[in-house]
Amino acid sequence: MDKMCGDFLVMSKEDMEKRGWRQLDFLFISGDAYVDHPSFSTAVIGRVLEREGYKVGLICQPDWRSVQDFKSLGRPRLGVLVSAGNLDSMLNKYTAARKERGADDYSPGGQPNRRPDRATIVYCNRIRQVWKNIPLIVGGIEASLRRFTHYDHWSDSIRHSVLINCKADILVYGMGERQIVAIADCLAGGMTPDRIRHIDGTAFVESNVEALDGDRVELPSHEAIVNDKAAFARAFRLQDEQQDPIRGKTLTQKSGDVYVVQRKPAYPLSDAELDAVYDLPYQRTYHPSYEIYGGVPASQEVSCGIVSHRGCFGACAFCAIHAHQGRIIQARSHDSILREAKAIAKLPWFKGYISDLGGPTANFRHAACKKQLKQGCCVNRQCLFPKPCANLEADHSDYLALLQKLRKIEGVKKVFIRSGIRYDYLLADKNDDFLRELCRHHISGQLKIAPEHINKKVLAAMRKPGREQYLQFVEKYGKMNKEIGKRQYLVPYYMSGHPGATLEHAVELAEFIRDTGQFPKQVQEFIPTPGSCATAMYYSEIDPFTGQKLHVAKSAGNKAMQRALLQYKNPKNYRLVFRALEETGRLDLAGSGKGCLITGAARPKTRTPGGAKQRAAKSGADAASIQCKEKLPLREVSFNALPPQVKNQKPSPAKRKRRRGG
């Protein structure tokens, strides 16, 4: 068995013959190309089942236009597993503007259109055509975040739970190692799928929920949500409140004559259990059959990277990671990570650089507080928002010790941290050792961070720290680099079009970008993906936790203007920026005057006394940020912390003096 695990997983009849297999136990259908790396769910689930003694075969990116590919490995003995892949198939294929993307990083050679829209449903329908009554289990991010009635941005509609449409027997949500082994053991023991109703981290369809054991929380029905947007916001809040493996309860949602039932989340894996998953003999690269296409692009970035933990207690509104992986951190041991690093150092393509050591948030290496491990996460309270909780244990010592050990491994020149850090958590740590080591050893001239916005109301909707904390970190980062004698930069990421953000807020952010000498090369436009709090805000126009109404930019024109304002220097954005300034009454920012965003024929409107306060009341912005003459002083942001392209645009001393009001 160990020798078999050292190879790639089975992908053909020839592979089965080499192993002496006449029939598979499980057939795994995946929307991604096969990359045998622990960052890819197909590899992890396949390896875990193989470790338990089950015979697993993969059919990756089958031609869904017929049933031929689905039958190629024969009928499996126990069941069929289906996943759309590492991304939701709609997000993978379409942009926020619903335009098709030109490439798919999870396909051989980056080829697009290798999977269908809503792949989970399509694959399941094909399986049901081939084997009508075979046990069918769905999982992966697409199924996980569409397990209840949800809003689908690409059809601009409310859709049923994916379970209703795909006719699967069981849905595995979250990180599924614990669940899939339990399901496999039940099926191997002779249980039929309709009797497997006790496993945490799963969902299923039932006609009678009265027979279920334990306490239940009923969500607004599918029909209620279709007819009332406020019901959608309530449903999300109830889901979020029970998204905890310790205190969570069973959720039910009526849909027509049946109920979608979700058991509470699976309990997090222990350090030893997580180590066992990552210690499996992954080949750490794509299957050799993709060599003729030049490989699989998504494998390149992660082939020399290391996942150190799972989960995120940051809980940003626009992110669904905490709804999938949970808010309780699951960390690997140092020994397991060091073993993986030593294995990476021996790879033929390793150049001495570990590309990343992290997780959803790199500097979260342990639970936010001891209470989480005994009582679960707090209901309707965040660990970091609106400010760090008094019980938060902000401590980087374990992460720092791990980084120091990795640097000593023979052949390792540098260990990068690219999966992102939470600077508000870093600021909460009174010890500066981690920041010093980060600047000295673990970035390559640039550190990417994500303030996302600077307006208080928008940041509140995002559940992100305020402008003051961002500027505090900028100053601290600049001072630290000066202290150690390095000239390194911050690359901030901003988001446009988030629920709660108006065109006036976008102008405010554009002025901040101007005054800090930045020019973002990349701007993320908000995409309402299933499962996130921000998507509930987008559809319902209500904050699910406060009940307050929110402004939501839904027209293509408004969203395009918000995005353009954040890159106002790009000549391609001139018309959109001018139109935005015109609509917001800020044509004082168009022209050749001091502080203008764009040049051109400006038609400034007369401002009456107190006008800034009136506009601030309307938009939610600070009056000081609206008044052009009260811009943020450039001296508040260290030049040492700005992106490298700003270096060549450094203003003259005289110009800087004028900007400061000197």
Domain residue limits, the chain = 2-207+253-262, 304-444, 446-662
Query: What's the CA gap between 409 and 158, in Å, rounded?
Result: 52
Region of residue 420 (phi > 0: left; psi between -120 and 50: alpha; otherwise: beta):
left
- Does residue 653 register a pLDDT over 60? no
pLDDT reported for residue 493:
94
Query: What's the CA gap between 599 and 271, in Å, rounded?
Result: 58
- 3-class DSSP state for residue 36? strand
* Closest listed residue to residue 286, CA positions, set 26, 606, 61: 61
Task: Indicate the fold that domain 446-662 takes in CATH.
Answer: Transcription Regulator spoIIAA (3.30.750)
Equal fold, 304-444 vs 446-662 = yes
pLDDT reported for residue 600:
72
- Whether residue 200 contacts residue 266, with contact meaning beta carbons closer than 8 Å, is answered with yes
Q: What is the mean pLDDT of residues 261-271?
A: 95
- Residue 60: φ, ψ to 5°: -100, 130
**The dihedral of CA 478, 480, 485, 488: what is its sign?**
negative
End-to-end C-alpha distance for the chain, whole angstroms: 76
pLDDT reported for residue 635:
30
Chain mean pLDDT for the chain: 90
- Residue 530 banded pLDDT, cuts 50, 70, 90: very high
pLDDT reported for residue 619:
52
pLDDT reported for residue 592:
87
Query: What's the CA gap between 242 and 451, in Å, rounded?
Result: 29
Q: What is the mean pLDDT of residues 376-394?
A: 92
- Whether residue 507 contacts residue 627, with contact meaning beta carbons closer than 8 Å, is answered with no
Q: 660 vs 147, 472, 560, 629, CA distance in Å?
A: 54, 19, 32, 10
Cβ contacts of residue 582 below 8 Å, gap of 6+? none
- Does residue 634 register a pLDDT over 80? no
Q: pLDDT (tens digit, 9 = 90+) per residue, 50-83? A: 999 999 999 999 999 999 999 999 999 999 999 9
Is residue 437 classed exposed, middle or buried when 0-12, 13-18 and 19+ CB atoms within 10 A define those classes?
Answer: middle
pLDDT reported for residue 518:
86
Provide the CATH number for the domain formed by 304-444 in this structure.
3.30.750.210
pLDDT reported for residue 381:
87
Buried-state track 294-329, b at ≥16 Cβ within 10 A, e below 16: ebbbbbeebbbbbbbbbbbbbbbbbbbbbbbbbbbb
Model pTM score: 0.88
Query: What's the CA gap between 526 and 344, in Å, rounded?
Result: 36
pLDDT reported for residue 608:
44
Q: For the ranges 220-224, 414-418, 553-557, 597-601, which has the lowest average pLDDT?
A: 597-601
Q: pLDDT (tens digit, 9 = 90+) per residue, 411-440? A: 999 999 988 899 999 999 999 999 999 999
pLDDT reported for residue 443:
92
Q: For the ranges 94-98, 377-381, 528-532, 560-564, which has the lowest average pLDDT?
A: 377-381
pLDDT reported for residue 1:
30
Query: What's the CA gap between 286 and 278, in Å, rounded?
Result: 17
Q: What is the mean pLDDT of residues 384-395?
A: 94
- Does residue 612 register a pLDDT over 80? no
- Does residue 654 register a pLDDT over 90? no
Query: What's the CA gap between 459 and 386, in Å, rounded?
Result: 9
Q: For the ranges 79-93, 548-562, 645-659, which has the lowest average pLDDT?
A: 645-659
pLDDT reported for residue 607:
45
pLDDT reported for residue 213:
81
Is residue 661 classed exposed, middle or buried when 0-12, 13-18 and 19+ CB atoms within 10 A define those classes?
Answer: exposed
Task: Please count the other Cβ atoms lying within 10 Å of the Cβ belonging to residue 461.
Answer: 25
- Does residue 646 register a pLDDT over 50? no
- Does residue 192 register a pLDDT over 70? yes
Q: For the ranges 13-27, 330-344, 431-445, 643-657, which has the lowest average pLDDT?
A: 643-657
pLDDT reported for residue 55:
98
Q: What is the mean pLDDT of residues 598-604?
A: 63
- Residue 655 banded pLDDT, cuts 50, 70, 90: low
Query: What's the CA gap between 170 and 38, in Å, rounded?
Result: 24
